[in-house]
Amino acid sequence: MAICYSALQKSFRSGDLNKTSFWSHQIGDLYPNALRKRLCQNSLEDACGLNFALSCLKNTKAPKKPSFEELNPYVTALTGMKKTHSAAWLNRVAADHLFRGLSGDPKGDEVEQAAYALKLHSEGSESELLSLYGEELMGLYKYTNKDPLTFMCKILISGRPELAAIQGFALGPLPPPSPQQVLDHYNDKHTKLGKKLGRGYQHFLENLILHNPVYVGSAEPYKQQAEHLYLNFKDSKGKGELRVKHVLDLIKENKTSASKTVPAAVPEVIFKDTDVLKIDSDTVGLGFKNATFICPVNMNIVSPLKSGDKEYIKKFVKIGESPTDLNFALQCSHFRSSLNLPSPDTSIATLKLSGDINYSEIASLGKGGDKWRTSISRKILQILKNNHSNASTLFVDVFTSGVRLSDITASSSWIYWNENFGIELLKVLLFRKFVGSKDTNAFNLMAREVNGEVQILSVDENEAGKERLRESMGKGLETAQRIKYDFKVKCAEAVAERTEEVGEFLEKMKRLWEERFEDLLGKGGRMKETHRKLFREWDGGKDVVGVCRKWLGVSDVEVVKKEKKKTKKKKRKFEVDEGESKKRTKT
């Protein structure tokens, strides 16, 4: 039966309906409940399909046990769903988090939440799990033999819009079964023949290929770290190939904090820059403080698979920032994603600078020319001298077709005239104020229009220190160079005309901050005073004029009534505060 289970799961992953029809019959004709359990488990593991698993369990309730006929549409649905192994990767990373003596946090980031859930699972603390996740998820957890992937899926879906968006599925008829071959890769480490052939995680991971994937062109969340752990983690006796259960058992055996008695499971993985970066004629230099540029990046290099395959993806790369600042940028990316703001895939790695890539030459290709060359040359020499050539590096998916906000004008860009430009810009400005990101200006924002929708990306997010936070306290949403007044007028329009939406956005930021991001981005209460002032000024949106003046430097809101085809429409007109141009801007 093990080969049937393996073949069915591989068929689900491949999206082959003929194969899933045949292998589901091999199981479901005799053991329909076993098939239903596999459907639930496979959906959690390979599709982050929490809604699917809950529906399958709830809606297949023939007397005593489900019938195969009831399950047929679910076999079809799971075969066609978009795939991701993210829940399983997160589960393994969370186990390592616990192994290193970290307890997790139900209000922390994804890994901390996952580690906390896994800790409760390991301790058998079902009452606490119930209070955190509710009866419905606990029922699924118990039905799938207490599989913690139930909780991993919930955590991921709650924080990742792209996974929340795939929770729907389409039931459909299952074609009649036709004979299928037992393919070689079905015999993995979970089957008798696979064990006899000595196949382990290396073979399993090499053949874990997901068709119709959620994540295209970038590594799945936690994939690289989890793969390394599966292949390199060993216990005190040198035994490897450990599953999550084995790691949890090791923690119990030690009976004390693993951070005090057990060395870290895996040392930091460091990659040679020439193996990761592909500097070519299309490489674009962007910065003068750090080596920032756009070039193809081999995102598979950090995977320990021996296949040698390379997948070069164009990325924005930043070398030379402090690990603290890069982690701030990473958590900001997660926070933006949770708020449904543009947030390209972001990751961090450590590169060993080989000396074979001339970063100062790349910088000189940017608009700063030799000035940038000199600045980056000093930065690289500092890394070589002080950090043993190791450089923390940020990788971000390229925001294609985006332009700097500073390059947009009312006369030359359709983006400015899009009806959502003001509200999207306002949300990004509020976000940067809320997390305490320094240097909020038009140069650190990028904008584009996709299918008629405006997207504005916050970039170069660095943590403002106490001094900078005090300086920017009375400057509204700008904290550095001024943003064009026309842009601020658009934001003021959004405050006046979409007051309820602004309020909802602020409340969502506040809730997510308290639930997950305060400990990650606001340690030591660094943002408490800013938040108090922000919400005091907002005051439920009661004083629109006051908000526009304090946040944006735009005042004297008045309603302009204009006849248009016998319909009166309200428009807003704003005047600049004293100290700026006295011209009026009609909107």
In sequence order, the 6+-apart residues with CB closer than 8 A to the CB of 273 are 351, 352, 353, 354, 356, 357, 391
Q: Kindly report the length of the chain.
A: 587
180 domain residue, yes or no = yes
Same domain for 346 and 435, yes or no, is no
* Shared domain check, 185 and 65: yes
- Same-domain pairing of 190 and 95: yes
CB atoms within 10 A of CB 347: 21
Same domain, 282 and 427: no
What integer best gives the mean pLDDT of the chain?
A: 84
Statement to judge: residues 506 and 363 lie in one domain: no
Q: What is the pLDDT of residue 27?
A: 93
DSSP class per residue in 229-248:
HHHH---TTS-----HHHHH
Nearest CA to 298 among 326, 317, 324? 317
Are residues 201 and 89 part of one domain? yes
Q: In this structure, are 32 and 106 located in the same domain? A: yes
Q: Above pLDDT 70, what percent of the chain? A: 88
- Three-state SS annotation for 39-53: HHHHHHHHHCCHHHH
Q: Is 244 inside any structural domain?
A: no
Average pLDDT over residues 61-66: 78
What's the token pair of residue 582? 């006295």
Query: Pick from 397, 422, 442: which residue ends a domain?
Result: 397
Pair 389, 407 in one domain: no
Radius of gyration, CA atoms only, the chain: 27
In a domain, 508, yes or no: yes
23 and 165 share one domain:
yes
**Considering 161, 181, 206, which residue would you say is the last residue of a domain?**
206
**Of the candidate ranges 88-97, 172-181, 286-295, the one whose mean pLDDT is the lowest:** 286-295
Within a domain: 251? no
Residue-level pLDDT at 584: 34
Q: What is the mean pLDDT of residues 176-205?
A: 84
Buried b (16+ CB within 10 A) or exposed e, 534-567: beeebeeeeebbebbbbbbbbbebeeeeeeeeee
Task: Tell whether 101 is covered by a domain.
Answer: yes
Domain count, the chain: 3
Q: Which two tokens stand for residue 41?
A: 């488990």
In the predicted structure, residue 517 carries a pLDDT above the cut 50: yes
Asked whether residue 225 is assigned to any structural domain, the reply reads no
Q: Is there a single domain that holds both residue 391 and residue 420?
A: no
pLDDT at residue 225 is higher than 70: yes
Residues 341, 416, single domain; the answer is no
In a domain, 565, yes or no: no
pLDDT reported for residue 411: 78
Compute how many other C-beta atoms are within 10 angstroms of the C-beta atom of residue 343: 21
Note the pLDDT tens digit of each residue in 460-507: 899 998 888 988 888 889 877 788 999 999 999 999 999 999 999 999
- How is 317-378 classified by DSSP, letter by letter? EEES--HHHHHHHHHHHHHHHHTT-----EEEEEEE--S-S-HHHHHHTSTTTHHHHHHHHH
- For residue 563, being part of any structural domain is answered with no
pLDDT of residue 312: 81
- Please tell me whether residues 446 and 385 are part of one structural domain: no
CA angle 283, 284, 287 (to 5 degrees): 135
CA pair distance 549, 544, nearest whole angstrom:
9
Domain limit, last residue, from 178, 206, 234:
206
- Residue 426 is part of which domain span? 403-535
